[in-house]
Amino acid sequence: MPMTETDAERTVSTDRENAARRVAALNRNDKPFHVVLAQQFDRRTIEELCQLADMIRAIGGSRQGTQFLRTMLSHHRAMLYFIQPSTRTFLSFTAACQIVGIPYNEVRDRSTSSELKGESEEDTIRVLSQYFDLIIMRHPAEGFAERVAHMLNDMPRTIPVINGGSGKDQHPTQAMLDIYTLFRSFGTPASVAHGTGGQEGRGRISAPRYTWNPFAGKTVAFVGDLKRGRTVRSLTYLLCRYPGVRLMFVAPPQLQIEEDILDYISRNGIEYELGDDIRGCIGDCDAIYMTRLQDEWDVDGESKAIDYDRYSLTYDMAKDFKPNLTIMHPLPRRHELDQELDALPQAKYWDQVRNGMWMRAALMASIFNVDVAIRDHYYAYYTF
Ligand code: NCD
């Protein structure tokens, strides 16, 4: 039976209530305490964190500044529980820990843990929560990081968890570094980058100017395996905070972005288009976000038959690029992103890697409320 209008409306409002409840369980003081879902970041939080990442970057440029930053979280300890393959995200987090001075340990292989003696993974996490003050985790199961956050909320000693990639579902810190990269590429007015109004509201790091929306009128295309690429899902949630952005999803039909994300985009009044060949859209794009084929999720080698050339960016396409195009990739790349493109000014994927380190340091500073001390230090020593 077709849904009546009221049924549909009821579904939408229930979805919204559920989303609000999920976010409320993860946030404290209106900002992320656990970092699990991209939906936790509203526009104010996104822009404050980009500003904080810029400040940490500036302070970290000198020996004295680096030493100052290292005192920020030196009284805490972090656990990197990464039981799914990772090099760059893992190393990005270790570098970020070093920037804010938080000592860390790692578990990267379940076979060395008591899970082999029959301990549940939940108990392993409970044990870790007694030694450490922060858990950063990468896990193959969707929803596991969120479950851990709820579990930690129920422990007498609640510590935060950061999701460094959860199955095919979400990768919120990657999305934050991606939007930070887009902010930097689309041009950041001085008032946002250096907060000329920054001395107001000393309780929380000053809010940048929300009236300025660099995404209005911009086209961002996502290309590749969009069904199983968690970075695309998370970044889409963030982009939906910016009215006037136009999204394109270019993917093989069987690997196209999932309906739940398309519903979310529509509910937020954002325009989108679906495509199945990159050549059809290159000239229109202000940013192209390339992704690899995520064939480790194949059940029966089903993606072998896909002609990935239609979802690959090659040097001969550069003649059609807008001069200010931003080319992104969460990495690792395969052949979908021609190495010859690396030398072009439009290639921003190495910047993404570096931006990620500053953004993750900013996230940790924000979780532990040392963002205000960093901001004050910045205004005392780094503005003229
Ligand atoms: C991505 C991931 O793990 O989701 N990599 C990353 O974290 N930078 C993308 C991928 O593996 O393709």
Only one residue has tokens 């596991």, namely 144
Do residue 150 and residue 180 come from a single domain? no
Measure 165 CA to ligand 1 centroid, in angstroms: 8
Q: Please state, in angstroms and rounded to a whole number, the distance separating the CA atoms of residues 352 and 299.
A: 31
DSSP state of 276: S
Q: Examine the residue annotation and report whether 57 is marked as an active-site residue of this protein.
A: no
**68 occurs within a structural domain:** yes
For residue 230, the ligand 1 atom closest to its alpha carbon is: 4
Per the model's pLDDT, the better-predicted residue between 264 and 7 turns out to be 264
Instruction: State how far the Cα of 112 lies from the Cα of 353, in Å rounded to an integer.
Output: 30
Is residue 163 domain-shared with residue 189, that is, in the same domain? no
CATH number (domain holding residue 318): 3.40.50.1370
The single-letter code of the amino acid at 295 is D
Burial 251-279, CB ≥16 within 10 A → b, else e:
bbeebbbeeebbebbeeeebebeebeebe
pLDDT of residue 172: 98
The encoded tokens of residue 210 equal 């929300």
How high is the pLDDT of residue 111? Answer: 76
Domain assignment present for residue 189? The answer is: yes
Rounded Cα–Cα distance for residues 87 and 117 (Å): 28
Which of 248, 177, 189 is closest to 213 using CA atoms?
189
> Each residue of 74-120: pLDDT tens digit?
999 999 999 998 989 999 999 999 999 999 999 998 777 777 778 89
Q: How many domains are there within the chain?
A: 2
CA of 187 to the centre of ligand 1 (A): 26
Residues 278 and 242 in one domain: yes
Distance 197 CA to ligand 1 centre (A): 36
pLDDT for 323-361, tens place per residue?
999 999 999 999 999 999 999 999 999 999 999 999 999
**Helices then strands, each counted (H, E), the chain:** 12, 11
* Amino acid letter for position 209: R
42 and 134 together in one domain: yes
Q: Quote the CA–CA distance of 236 and 249 in Å, as a whole number.
A: 10
Active site residue 126: no
Instruction: Please check whether residues 178 and 313 belong to one and the same domain.
Output: yes
- d(C-alpha 255, C-alpha 229), whole Å: 9
Measured distance CA(106)–CA(94) in Å, rounded: 10
Residue 207 has pLDDT above 80, yes or no: no
Q: How far is 247 from 274, CA to CA, in rounded Å?
A: 9
Token pair 């899902």 is found at 233
Which of 31, 34, 57, 138 is flagged as catalytic? 138
For 41, the domain range is 16-172+355-376
